[in-house]
Amino acid sequence: MPSAATGAARQWAALTTEMPFHAIDGYLLDGRPSKAAAIAAALGQRIPAERAQPFYRALEAVGDRAADEALIALRLVIADKPADDDAVRRLRALAMLARAADAAARDAAFAKAGPMLDDLAALRAEPNRLPAAARAAYLAML
């Protein structure tokens, strides 16, 4: 019998086949699916690129204990983008900002990211527009 995470991953994969994002994006941007389900989806929909294989082996070994940064790096590889430190850090910061529920969380995201989010700083005082702008910037990197 498949686990709940595997079932959720299959459901997410079915829902997102027409969408330009991956289950990893859903986990990072919205918290849906769960981290375990996002990992199951990534493992179930592997790309053959050689540079993705170490990520898959690591996810198999550690499962949902994998750092979000590892998922972000894999997501960049899936999108055929360089998984360099700056790209991973920016996507992580954008995901934090997209999920920030209150001013304290937004301030923490900006503080942690430093200049990586300078392009969104003008929207800092506009909590209704900032999450959508962060999501759009995240997706534009992919």
Give the model confidence (pLDDT) of 104-125 as tens digits.
999 999 999 999 999 999 999 8
Are residues 60 and 97 located together in one domain of the fold?
A: no
Are residues 68 and 121 located together in one domain of the fold?
A: no
The total number of structural domains that make up the chain: 2
Are residues 73 and 93 located together in one domain of the fold?
A: no
User: Phi first, then psi: what are they for 101, rounded to 5°?
Assistant: -90, -20
Are residues 102 and 132 located together in one domain of the fold?
A: yes
pLDDT, residue 1, reads 44
pLDDT, residue 6, reads 47
Which domain covers residue 66, as residue numbers?
4-78
First to last CA, the chain: 34
Are residues 69 and 18 located together in one domain of the fold?
A: yes
**Least confident window among 15-19, 35-39, 94-98, 136-140:** 15-19
Are residues 69 and 105 located together in one domain of the fold?
A: no
Nearest-10 crossing angle of helices 53-62, 68-78 = 150
CB 96 within 8 A of CB 89: no
CB 97 within 8 A of CB 134: yes
Are residues 92 and 70 located together in one domain of the fold?
A: no
Predicted confidence (pLDDT) per residue in 51-60, tens digit? 999 999 999 9
pTM (predicted TM-score): 0.83
pLDDT, residue 37, reads 97
Joined together, the tokens standing for residue 83 give 């998984």
Which of 24, 47, 78 is the C-terminal boundary of a domain? 78
Distance CA 31, CA 43 (A): 18
- The mean predicted confidence, pLDDT, of the chain is 88
pLDDT, residue 59, reads 97
